[in-house]
Amino acid sequence: MRFPVVLALSASALSAALTGCVVAPAQPVYSAPAGVAYMAPTYVSPGVGFVWAYHPRYGWGWHHPQYGWHRGWR
């Protein structure tokens, strides 16, 4: 009788402790378009949210979905 009560209390305490956890969704994996050679980044990411992506006119660079291309590419 004592074991189910302890188990129920520990399960409810664990669920109460984890209610404030935030899990970010996984980012999609980016692959190069057909016929384009992959070029590795030459410097670190300029910030959170930037991904290494291919630009059809300028080549490879850091892109942010909200702020656009790093270093002013359009």
pLDDT at 62: 92
Whether residue 4 lies inside any domain: the answer is no
Whether residue 49 lies inside any domain: the answer is yes
Per-residue pLDDT tens over the stretch 7-63: 778 878 777 777 776 776 766 666 778 888 888 888 899 999 999 999 888 889 999
Whether residue 50 lies inside any domain: the answer is yes
pLDDT at 3: 75
Residues of the domain holding 72: 33-74
Whether residue 40 lies inside any domain: the answer is yes
What's the number of domains the chain is made of? 1
pLDDT at 15: 75
pLDDT at 27: 66
* Among 72, 41, 74, 29, CA closest to 56: 74
Cβ-in-10-Å burial (0-12, 13-18, 19+) of 62 comes to buried
* Among 70, 71, 73, CA closest to 50: 70
Whether residue 66 is predicted with pLDDT greater than 80 in this model: the reply is yes
Whether residue 62 lies inside any domain: the answer is yes
Contacts of 66 (CB under 8 A, 6+ apart): 49
DSSP state of 66: T
